[in-house]
Amino acid sequence: MTRIDAARWIRGGFWAAGVGILAEHCSLVGAFHHQKWRASLPVETHRASMRVMRTILVFLGVSMLAGCGGANEAKPVAQAATKPIDTRDFFGEARGCFSMRELGNGETFEMGGDECGERSLPASTFKIPNAIIALDTGVLKDEKTILKWDGKKRWNDNWNRDHALPTAMWHSVVPFFQEIATQVGAERYRTYLSAFHYGNADPSGDVTLFWLENGRLSISPREQVSFLASMYEGKLRVSTRAVDLVKATLELRGEAKEHVRDRLPFVDRIAENVVLSGKTGSAMPDSGEIGPLDVVGWFVGAVERDGRRWVFACRLRSGDGKKIGTEAARIAYEILKSRGMV
């Protein structure tokens, strides 16, 4: 029996005894209000009984307060920090935001203030709704559907081969999802993204780039969290199978760890009773001068532990950084770790 359990057991015993005594004395006092009993018992007896009753009521009130304290003590994770949070402890001088919501009760935690409501390009975090749309429309039959490499050499060697959905997600294979985009088309994207309440739901421009570089699609960290909550709670009004397949590709365990370890080394430090899911994203203008907030890095996903699940979005914006998405992932992991969640 733990200390908390023992305390609850003792309080339970006191409660039972107190309630029993209170009931007995309430019966006695009630009897005093009957004319026959008033006449037959001395006044001193009546006063003594009232003193006992007041003592019991005070005892029960203290017990109730103690019980409330014990309930708060037992809550396992995701508690508010005991000291003020300085975002610079995690984000340094970059503009940063971390937003998280527990599914079921809707409790939220945020760092970054107004930054959590500012929109930006989703970058490769858009691969999450993109994959759901591809599966729901039949552009991808299932997670085993292979899209052939087009033979063009690109800067990332992992992109220069055939891929199915899991490896395309783990290596963030842009050409794979650009091929999906050409088959889905702008109008279907507009319909789905509006239904998903995905940021401004604007797929205008080049259909293979609207979530990257100079595209017009934009979303805030809070909106990312709302989208993920709808996804994990089954509220997107798309095929359940499509959502389940995408959720499986986001889990950073098993085979996925072998593919992402070089970029996300913290995957080997995740507790065995925790399932961490996530997707990175990085975006910057393809031309012109880079401003102080033009380079965007994301890490969005979910944490499952002890039967509870949270969804989160972490974003940082700065004027430099080629691997800013992996930096956002590192920061998100450190924040989750500081709250005892991973």
Active centre residues (catalytic): 124
Other C-beta atoms within 10 Å of 297: how many?
28
Answer whether 231's CB lies under 8 Å from 197's CB: no
Scored b (16 or more CB within 10 A) or e, 247-257 reads bebbbbeeebe
**Of all helices (H) and strands (E), which one includes residue 46?**
helix 43-74
Answer whether 224's CB lies under 8 Å from 122's CB: yes
SS3 302: strand
* Distance of alpha carbon 200 from alpha carbon 189, whole angstroms: 12
Answer whether 283's CB lies under 8 Å from 213's CB: yes
Cβ neighbours of residue 3 under 8 Å, at least 6 residues apart?
A: none
* Distance of alpha carbon 134 from alpha carbon 11, whole angstroms: 57
Structure tokens at 228: 């993920």
The count of C-alpha atoms lying within 13 angstroms of the C-alpha of 176, restricted to the half-sphere facing its C-beta, is 29
Structure tokens at 62: 């203290």
- The gap from C-alpha 90 to its chain's centroid, in whole angstroms, comes to 18
What are the two backbone dihedrals, phi and then psi, of residue 214, each rounded to the nearest 5 degrees? -100, 25
* Distance of alpha carbon 203 from alpha carbon 196, whole angstroms: 13
* Distance of alpha carbon 115 from alpha carbon 74, whole angstroms: 33
As a three-state string, the secondary structure of 235-257 is: CCCCCHHHHHHHHHHHECCCHHH
Structure tokens at 15: 């409660």
Answer whether 313's CB lies under 8 Å from 49's CB: no
